Amino acid sequence: MELNEKIRQLRSERDMTLEEVGNLVGVGKSTVRKWESGDIANMRRDKIAKLAAALGTTPAYLMGWDETDVKEKPPVIDGGLMAANTVRIAGRDGSYVEKKLSDDQVDLIRRMVEQLPDYTD
């Protein structure tokens, strides 16, 4: 299956609109439409990574290097899709803080969280 076909299939399986995918990746819905039609074949690496995250798969699957699709839906927050590279930390009192992060900041936080021991009540 070609890249454009994978994008169309994954978006359809996850019941996402062109606009929802575009918002998560940081492009317009017309760009997503062009990716799906094959009009834009050469995608930037950062867009491939964001697109894979938005569609719940891996860049390797999209590019055809790994034929295993992760089949995860993107995270849903408050009834809407949570934007890529957004972190939300919730307190026990129901309050939360949400912040958009760079790729480097996401990697840093991921490494920090992986080092934390599991919390038990």
* CA distance linking residue 48 with residue 59, whole number of Å: 6
Q: b/e string for 11-49 if b means 16 or more Cβ within 10 A?
A: beebebebebbbbbbebeeebbeebbeeebeebeeebbb
Residue 27 falls within a domain, yes or no? yes
pLDDT of amino acid 121: 65
Mind listing the pLDDT tens digit for each residue in 46-64?
Answer: 889 889 888 888 888 888 8
Instruction: Say yes or no: 92 and 44 in one domain.
Output: no
Under the banding of pLDDT at 50, 70 and 90, the label for residue 120 is confident
Residue 80 falls within a domain, yes or no? no
Domain holding 109, by residue range, is: 85-115
Number of domains, the chain: 2
CB 24 within 8 A of CB 74: yes
* CA distance linking residue 4 with residue 27, whole number of Å: 16
Mind listing the pLDDT tens digit for each residue in 20-39?
Answer: 999 889 999 999 999 999 99
